[in-house]
Structure 1
Amino acid sequence: MTDSDEAESCRPSGHSDPLSNMGDLRRVGANPDFWYPVALSKNVRSRRVFATSFAGDRIVLYRGESGAAHALEDRCAHRQVPLSMGVVEGETLRCCYHAWAYRGDGRISQIPYLTKGDGRPPRGVRGYPVREAYGLVFVFPGAPEKAPGTPLPAVPAFASPKYQTMTFSRTVRCHYSFMHENLLDMNHQFLHRGVVGRLHPELLGYRTGPRSVEARYLFTHDGGKRNPGASVLAAEGFGGGGSCDVMTIRTEYPYQTLDLVPEGAERPAFSLWAAYVPEDTEQRTCHTYGLLMIEKPRIPGVLQLAWPLIRRFTERVFAQDRLAVEAEQRAWEEQGGDRNHEVFPLILHVRKVLHANGVALTAASRNSPLAATDG
């Protein structure tokens, strides 16, 4: 656990929990006072612009001649034309319409046709704090004064020479909470039976804190045909040859991680870090950014040869998960609310964490954390 507060240790239980009475989690927004990835660094090219968004707020990224990335509200203060249609000049971004130029902090640096006697607008546009790490561009969409004291998520395996990283970037048409539940609840392996074979997950226990839920599963492979990419990962330790592997999955708000340690191993065979970034105002669509760090085998070059197989395998698993969570979102919309009958205590706890740390989906309270309602 990394929560500074005391954590609650739990054993698997078959009993329901009153945590389910807290209200509809799908109406809770992501707390903006964290660093969120909004683009792959490679997609923000030198002297180019890139349009993205966070929870309905349109954002333009651009990289100046110095190589530094900047993030601005994607509208010109003049006529509201998207600045993502503009042109990068040095470290400024110039609107394509009347050529107003903006600095990286959003302030106006030039209005070409103004004379000294003409009035200037009182302000430019909003500038977002920006940081780059792990091949991703992060912005801080919340209160800017909180950005310096808020750390980026820690992904130690990314820089380790013992691992090679596969990056994922996909839009999923669902509320971000469905993604947290999907990864934490490994009882859905039946969904992947045609790709991974028959996997048997056993929940060993879990721990909870104000901002986190961590679960440990014992995985065994009970047979069945597996995708070639799954077989490659099995050789790395994922349920291979009847072995028992321990998988640790953690929601540390607002991020999620997964580590799989083969039986008898000292470190994970692979680790996953993921963030689910809401795109639209109602937060019914999110963009998933994932870093899958796979341990390099002792024989050089083997992982490079297997890379396309692993990529196809992970894409198939993700496609099946996306199919399921998007179906959950459609049911929520058709039924006008959450009618789920959740019985797994682990998922009831993660719902509590997501609810307590989220924000209300209203303009007035967008940046205010919701009070926890323990029902």
Structure 2
Amino acid sequence: MPRRERRAVRRVANQRWPTAWPCPRPEAATINGQRLPSNPCPPSFAEARNARQKVRGAGLDPNYWYAVEVDERIQPGQVTEVVFWKRSIALFRGRDGRLRAIENRCAHRQLKLSLGGVDDCQLVCLYHGWTYDGDGRVVRIPHDLFGRRVPEFRIASFPVRVRYGLVWLFPGDSALAEQRPIPEIPEIEGPDRWACRPLSFTWRAHHSMIIDNVSDFTHAHLHRKYRPFDDAQLVRCETAGDSVHVAYDTHVGRGRISGLFVDRDRINTNHMRLCYQYPYQWSNTDDKIKHWLFVLPIDERTTRTFFLFYFESLKIPWTAVRIPRAAMDFVLRLANRLLIAPLLDQDRGAVEAEQEGYEAHWDAPIAEINPAVRAFQEVTIRKWQAHLDRLAPQASARVTPAMQRTP
């Protein structure tokens, strides 16, 4: 081999691989003496050979409403990027206060429109100033049109709503948006609503791992510092359509902090009901302590979550006196910062480590023993497969005669 080529080979072999590489280093055959699989990357949904590989490659059906942002974080005149399963969307609020969402690309040169700015109630591309309305139509081109009128270009737009302090987007078929309602949570609406403050986190993990985590109460060991629950015994696991209903006999709110506020004399904290109501998840303790989780799948290893925790009431520490409803919002803000957010951060650390473990050992034998987790995964796989099956005829229809093989 010529000297120049040998030097090139050494440079490639010795270069530092990026720390964010999603799979083990492709040139390595072993790590610590253990053989790596011949394909270092986890398989796609279509390539998967078992349920775990299937669910870790599955997306979520776009024909549902998904929480994509906390409402108060987008002010009039602001634009932000949100991503649903690798599809980038520009979400912006016009000067009229109304939110709009369109595909995050300029029809001209494909720049992300979220790099641009908001002009009144329209979105302006950073590059040439092409301007779009909330329906995705090009309404203004500020430069020379070479003797032409403004072309009738249009990009996709998406239905948007605001509810429970969250921005909701329907990324699928807009015609179905009215048929698939946003979940009803009557306790946090109206004049006598319960206090509720959204919590949002981004996890470097697949969305199914997060659903597994928040519905699997056998990981009390992780939370032994805060003890939100312990001694959990699964007493129900039932699949009904697109939902999985689960119940645990457990002890809720017995930690050093939570135990000061939870009124166990008035609330039965020894039983909890949970449900994976695809694609959402909720829990209920004696109709007094509740939560919802909404996941936004970004890709196979990134998910954004939106948690809503709400309580009918809590008690003043070391007393039996209930905290007045007017003060609950302040107390919940404090609880989110001192207890709930640190607790979820423990979950996030563990789940992100699980993601890394899966990427390194995706072909290892499955060792899951919780039937509830298996039930969640079966629903996710079935719903994603149904979505892909619906897309198949559309994909076939897009094949032009020139692309088809001749006999």
Q: TM-score, normalised by structure 1?
A: 0.81
Deviation at 1:50, TM superposition (A): 1.4
Deviation at 1:220, TM superposition (A): 2.6
Does residue 287 of the first structure (1) align with residue 312 of the second (2)? no
User: What is the SS of the residue equivalent to 1:165?
Assistant: coil
- Identify the structure with bigger relative contact order (alpha carbons < 8 Å, sequence gap 6+): 1
**Distance in 2 between residues matched to 1:366 and 1:168, nearest whole Å:** 37
Distance 1:219 1:287, change over 3 A: same
User: What is the SS of the residue equivalent to 2:102?
Assistant: strand
Distance 1:307 1:84, change over 3 A: closer
CA contact (8 A) 2:268 2:285 kept: no
In structure 2, the residue matched to 1:231 is: 259
In structure 1, the residue matched to 2:285 is: 260
CA contact (8 A) 1:222 1:242 kept: no
**Distance in 2 between residues matched to 1:241 and 1:144, nearest whole Å:** 45
Name the amino acid aligned to 2:288: A
Does residue 274 of the first structure (1) align with residue 286 of the second (2)? no
Does residue 343 of the first structure (1) align with residue 369 of the second (2)? yes
In structure 2, the residue matched to 1:136 is: 166
Root-mean-square deviation (CA, aligned residues, Å) is: 2.9
Structure 1 alignment gaps of length 5 or more: 1-19, 262-267, 369-375
**Alignment map for 1:14-33 (pairs within 5 Å):** 24-33=54-63
Does residue 188 of the first structure (1) align with residue 188 of the second (2)? no
Name the amino acid aligned to 1:231: G
**Distance in 2 between residues matched to 1:151 and 1:60, nearest whole Å:** 22
Deviation at 1:309, TM superposition (A): 4.0
Percent of paired sites with the same residue: 30
**Distance in 2 between residues matched to 1:247 and 1:62, nearest whole Å:** 39
Superimposed CA distance per residue, residues 62-113 of structure 1 (whole angstroms, 9 cap, x where no aligned partner): 1112221000111111122221122222221111221111010101111123
More strand by share: 1
In structure 1, the residue matched to 2:337 is: 311
From the CA coordinates, give the structure whose radius of gyration is larger.
2
**Distance in 1 between residues matched to 2:87 and 2:283, nearest whole Å:** 30
Distance 1:337 1:129, change over 3 A: farther
Superimposed CA distance per residue, residues 177-216 of structure 1 (whole angstroms, 9 cap, x where no aligned partner): 1111112111111211111177211222132112000111
Number of aligned residue pairs: 335
User: What is the SS of the residue equivalent to 1:97?
Assistant: coil
Structure 2 alignment gaps of length 5 or more: 1-49, 315-321, 395-407
**Alignment map for 1:1-375 (pairs within 5 Å):** 24-115=54-145, 117-118=147-148, 120-159=150-189, 161-196=192-227, 199-220=230-251, 226-228=255-257, 230-233=258-261, 235-237=262-264, 244-261=269-286, 268-280=287-299, 283-297=300-314, 298-300=322-324, 303=328, 304-305=330-331, 307-337=333-363, 339-359=365-385, 365=391
CA contact (8 A) 1:28 1:360 kept: no
User: What is the SS of the residue equivalent to 2:100?
Assistant: strand
